[in-house]
């Protein structure tokens, strides 16, 4: 469903992604690990279509279509969801109102009628349970005054509401305590239905105990330099990245 | 310029959606201003001598005054002799029902989405619709009359309730007050009059829609609201105007007189033609609005959503004379393209234990300039006066300006005056976050800006709040609304 070929991207003329390749089939979970500055978050931003990044080469084909020319909102409507590492606050806009706007935009792009208030509330109640979001959280302004854990839960809640085909989790585990990590992971696992795919970007093997990946990739200096199964994550946890760096340098 | 900024620019640089001209046969005065013009207006309206005398006194005062220039706005000098001071749709006869309304007039309202029938039916709002200068239609009059409430056009009040008009007109805004108030007092065309008797709570929102229509017509509205002891009313004023190339001058006066224990809530949504992208055309809106809390525990609240006009010069104020009286000002002012707004409020504390609240939200886009100008004055006898002011500015794009001019004059050491101010930009991060959830940049800007204005919108009556949100969306998002 997602095919990335030789992707190159710059930020402010500095090349971050230097020819990245990745193939993801429906239902698969791919973990992306790697040392700081290797380009993990850049990959997430480029896939989502963030403006600051210039794609200088390669292609990204999602469901048979090259998406690099599409606006961020069109990519979102086609089913790409990014759970932000640092979710953004929007004062004065309630979470529920924000989600209603988003859900109906996505529906509109698919030629579906907008949900009315009753239908929307029903959908929201159902999805709230997934990540233990309570009613007050939906009535508060988007992410405003949320704790770190609440923000991350809110990202997964939004993902559940929008039902994307590809979920990208950008260091969703950062800043979470064990309990919050479990809640968030349970939410993600509940969304694994054999068709929906995930890219899980993380620094820590710990998250992958909860969200068990089909594949683990190591990103280093803008390329995927090693791929394996979940055992690779354990090996990295044990040995660090130096041995991989050495392999690459040779 | 980044992509987002470009989009913001496109979005905020859109043209006025409601520019159209309706063809109603007008009955107009010749251009220019002299005693004859004033006599013409007064005669047209069948006014008694005392009203004409008042106008002439105001005119003589006006001739001695100078046009103020202290506001943070720029415009070519106005030629006051090049303005038509009176224009009325030809009165056919007195209307008994909406069916008798001129079909053209009705169509105009329909284009604006103001269906009188619907408003009557759905919201129970009594609408006193003003097209150009004469009150065309008044609804719910009988129902209000049963409670002793008088709600009619200003000219009618002059004829039917001269004692009230004589007593209160000019008691809050005297014709000597300022240049435009004097001009208005001399040439005012029509407006609304409202009187709520002692202890009566007005059961519905009173509402007036203003609309400037004939080309080159100055419109000089005059509104007077009197709430007697313990009375309550909520008054709505909403405006849109069709597209014109010439600048149109609008200099209204609104006076509110609140007796002991009375409460008046005055809400405005103003959407006059702001001119095109290059600043050509548009309405000059130079308005004097003031309320007097004359008695103890009186309360006056101004809520305004200002999105239109080429130039806005407007400071709805409250004089807190009665002890324990309360003044409130909630404002959203949006400027776009080449618009200029210099708006704010004055809270004059005279009585003891008086308090005032000011919440002002300025939003600037395009190459516009948006200034908040506010005065909080605590008189020497105003023991324990209290004021809280919050002035926030939001910038869309990088070519607009936001300015704040707060004046505080405090002559009593027991007073507490607080002022908070913030300036922020709609962040690219916020827009991207919305985009990533499938929301277009236009809608994202609307969403973020509406969120920003929430505190003020919460003060508006429900149906008005919805309209204000729509208007904001239209002002900022072009044809998307």
Helix H or strand E encompassing A197: strand A197-201
Does some domain include residue A180?
yes
Quote the domain boundaries for residue B438: 20-91+132-476
- Which carries the bigger pLDDT value, residue B235 or residue B208? B235
Could you tell me whether strands B253-258 and B282-293 are parallel, antiparallel, or unpaired per DSSP bridges? parallel
Mean pLDDT, to the nearest integer, of A117-124? 93
* Position A37 in a domain: no
Per-residue b or e along B252-286, where b marks 16 or more CB atoms closer than 10 Å to that residue's CB: bbbbbbbbbbbbbbbbbbbbbbbbbbebebbbbbb
> Within a domain: residue B274?
yes
Band of the pLDDT at B464, cuts 50, 70, 90? confident
CB pairs under 8 A between A and B: 79
- In-domain check, residue A40: no
| A5 contact partners, CB below 8 Å, separation of at least 6 | A21, A58, A59, A60, A61
Contact B440 A73 (CB under 8 A): yes
Query: Is residue B120 in some structural domain?
Result: no
pLDDT of A97 over the 60 cut: yes
Token digits of residue A214: 């089909």
List the CATH number of the domain containing A167: 3.40.50.300
What pLDDT is attached to residue B474? Answer: 63
B433 → closest Cβ in A71, A88, A101: A88
The answer to whether residue B257 neighbours chain A at the CB level (below 8 Å) is no
Same domain, A124 and A75: yes
Give me the half-sphere count of Cα atoms (radius 13 Å) on the Cβ side of residue B70: 8
Residue B462: pLDDT above 90? no
Among A210-224, B402-416, B419-433, the least confident range: B419-433
Domain membership of residue B357 (yes or no) is: yes
Query: What is the rounded average pLDDT of the residues A41-63?
Result: 94
Contact list, B332 vs chain A (CB under 8 Å): none
B109 vs A33, more confident: A33
pLDDT at position B94: 46
pLDDT, one tens digit per residue, over B274-292 is 777 777 778 888 889 999 9
Residues A61 and A94 in one domain: no
| The token pair that represents B89 in the structure block | 């749709």
Name the strand (E) or helix (H) holding B51: helix B49-64
Q: Identify whether the C-beta of residue B336 lies closer than 8 Å to the C-beta of residue B476.
A: yes
What residues 179-238 of chain A have any CB closer than 8 A to a CB of chain B? Answer: none
This complex has an ipTM of 0.96
User: Does A42 map to a domain?
Assistant: no
All residues of chain B having their beta carbon less than 8 Å from the beta carbon of residue A91 are 451-452
Nearest residue of A to residue B454 by CA position? Answer: A92
Q: Tell me if chain B has a CB within 8 Å of the CB of A58.
A: no
A161 with A123, same domain: the answer is: yes
pLDDT of residue B122: 34
A157 and A189 co-located in one domain = yes
Q: Average pLDDT in the B111-128 region? A: 47
- The reply to whether B33 falls in a domain is yes
Query: If you average pLDDT over residues B298-303, what whole number do you get?
Result: 96
Q: How many domains does chain A have?
A: 2
Q: What is the pLDDT of residue A186?
A: 93
- Residues A4-29 have a mean pLDDT of 94
Between B428, B433, B439, which is nearest A101 by CB?
B439
CB-based contact, B453 to chain A, within 8 Å = yes
Please determine, for residue A68, whether its predicted confidence score (pLDDT) is greater than 50. yes
Pick from A51, A87, A93: CB nearest B4: A51
Please check whether residue B14 lies inside any domain of the structure: no
Cα of A91 to nearest chain B Cα, Å: 6
Q: What is the pLDDT of residue B245?
A: 46
B7 within some domain: no
Length of chain A: 250
Highest averaged pLDDT of the listed ranges A79-88, B179-188, B189-198, B236-245: A79-88
Q: Using an 8 Å Cβ cutoff, are B17 and B480 in contact?
A: no
Indicate if A57 and A104 belong to the same structural domain.
no
**How many domains, chain B?**
1
Any idea which residue has 């394996």 for tokens? Answer: A228
Domain that holds residue A220: 1-32+48-69+214-250
Same domain, A222 and A165: no
Residues of A within 8 A of B422 (CB-CB) are none
Q: For chain A, what is the mean pLDDT?
A: 93
Cross-chain residue pair A109–B432, CB shorter than 8 Å: no
Considering only the beta carbons, identify the residue of A77, A89, A97 that sits closest to B438.
A77
Mean pLDDT lowest among A119-123, A217-221, B66-70, B415-419: B66-70
In a domain, B420, yes or no: yes
B89 vs B389: which has the higher pLDDT: B389
Let me know the angle formed at the C-alpha of B438 by B435 and B441, rounded to the nearest 5 degrees: 40
Query: Quick check: B213 pLDDT over 50?
Result: no
Report the distance separating Cα A248 and Cα A242, nearest Å.
10
Nearest-CA neighbor of A78 among A195, A158, A165, A167? A165
- Residue B420 pLDDT more than 80? yes
Residue to substitute from B394, B435, B437, interface A, most A β-carbons within 10 A = B437
On whether residue B250 sits in a domain, the answer given is yes
Hey, how many other C-beta atoms are within 10 angstroms of the C-beta on A122? 11
Give the residue from A170, A196, A222 where a domain finishes. Answer: A196
């Amino acid at each position: 469903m997602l095919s990335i070929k030789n992707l190159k991207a710059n930020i402010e003329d500095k090349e971050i992604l230097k020819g990245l390749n990745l193939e993801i089939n429906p239902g698969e979970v791919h973990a992306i690990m790697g040392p700081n500055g290797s380009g993990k978050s850049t990959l997430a931003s480029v896939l989502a279509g963030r403006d600051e990044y210039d794609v200088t080469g390669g292609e990204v084909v999602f469901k048979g279509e090259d998406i690099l020319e599409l606006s961020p909102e069109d990519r979102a409507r086609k089913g790409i969801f990014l759970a932000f590492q640092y979710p953004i606050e929007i004062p004065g806009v309630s979470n529920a109102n924000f989600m209603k706007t988003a859900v109906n935009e996505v529906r509109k792009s698919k030629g579906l009628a907008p949900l009315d208030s009753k239908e929307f509330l029903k959908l929201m109640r159902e999805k709230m349970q997934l990540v233990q979001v309570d009613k007050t959280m939906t009535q508060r302004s988007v992410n405003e005054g949320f704790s770190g854990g609440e923000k991350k839960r809110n990202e997964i809640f939004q993902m559940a509401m929008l039902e994307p085909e590809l979920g990208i989790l950008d260091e969703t585990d950062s800043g979470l305590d064990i309990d919050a990590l479990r809640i968030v992971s349970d939410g993600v696992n509940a969304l694994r239905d054999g068709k929906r795919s995930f890219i899980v970007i993380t620094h820590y093997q710990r998250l992958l105990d909860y969200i068990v990946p089909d594949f683990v990739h190591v990103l280093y200096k803008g390329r995927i330099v090693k791929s394996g199964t979940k055992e690779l994550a354990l090996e990295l946890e044990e040995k660090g990245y130096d041995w991989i760096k050495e392999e690459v340098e040779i | 310029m980044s992509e987002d900024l470009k989009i913001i620019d496109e979005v905020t640089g859109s043209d006025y959606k409601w520019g159209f001209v309706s063809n109603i046969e007008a009955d107009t005065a010749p251009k220019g201003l002299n005693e004859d013009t004033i006599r013409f207006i007064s005669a047209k309206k069948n006014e008694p001598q005392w009203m004409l005398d008042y106008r002439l006194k105001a005119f003589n005062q006006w001739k001695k005054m100078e046009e103020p220039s202290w506001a943070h706005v720029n415009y070519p000098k106005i030629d006051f002799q090049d303005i038509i001071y009176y224009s009325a749709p030809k009165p056919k006869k007195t209307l008994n029902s909406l069916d008798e309304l001129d079909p053209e007039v009705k169509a105009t309202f329909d284009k604006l989405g103001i269906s009188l029938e619907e408003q009557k039916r759905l919201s129970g709002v009594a609408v006193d619709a003003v097209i150009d200068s004469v009150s065309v239609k008044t609804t719910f009059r009988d129902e209000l009359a049963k409670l002793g409430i008088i709600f009619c056009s200003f000219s009618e009040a002059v004829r039917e309730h001269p004692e009230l008009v004589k007593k209160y007109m000019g008691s809050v805004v005297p014709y000597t007050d300022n240049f435009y108030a004097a001009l208005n007092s001399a040439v005012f065309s029509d407006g609304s009059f409202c009187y709520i008797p002692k202890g009566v709570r007005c059961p519905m929102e009173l509402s007036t829609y203003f609309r400037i229509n004939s080309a080159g017509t100055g419109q000089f509205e005059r509104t007077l609201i009197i709430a007697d002891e313990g009375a309550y009313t909520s008054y709505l004023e909403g405006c849109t105007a069709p597209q014109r190339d010439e600048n149109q001058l609008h200099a209204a006066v609104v006076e509110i007189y609140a007796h002991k224990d009375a409460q008046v809530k005055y809400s405005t949504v103003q959407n006059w033609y702001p001119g095109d992208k290059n600043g050509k055309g548009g309405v000059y809106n130079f308005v004097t609005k003031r309320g007097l809390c004359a008695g103890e525990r009186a309360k006056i609240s101004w809520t305004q959503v200002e999105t239109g006009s080429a130039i806005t010069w407007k400071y709805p104020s409250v004089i807190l004379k009665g002890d324990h009286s309360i003044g409130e000002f909630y404002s959203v002012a949006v400027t776009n393209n080449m618009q200029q707004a210099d708006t704010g409020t004055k809270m004059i504390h005279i009585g003891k234990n008086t308090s005032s609240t000011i919440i002002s939200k300025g939003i600037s886009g395009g190459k516009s300039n948006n200034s908040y100008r506010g005065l909080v004055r605590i008189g020497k006898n105003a023991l324990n006066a209290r004021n809280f002011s919050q002035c926030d500015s939001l910038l869309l794009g990088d070519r607009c300006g936001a300015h704040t001019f707060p004046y505080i004059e405090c002559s009593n050491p027991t007073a507490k005056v607080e002022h908070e101010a913030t300036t922020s930009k709609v962040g690219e991060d916020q827009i991207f976050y919305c985009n990533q959830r499938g929301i277009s940049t236009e809608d994202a800007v609307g969403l973020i800006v509406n969120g920003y204005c929430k505190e003020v919108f919460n003060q508006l009556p429900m149906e008005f709040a919805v309209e204000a949100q729509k208007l904001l969306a239209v002002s900022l998002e072009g044809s998307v609304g």
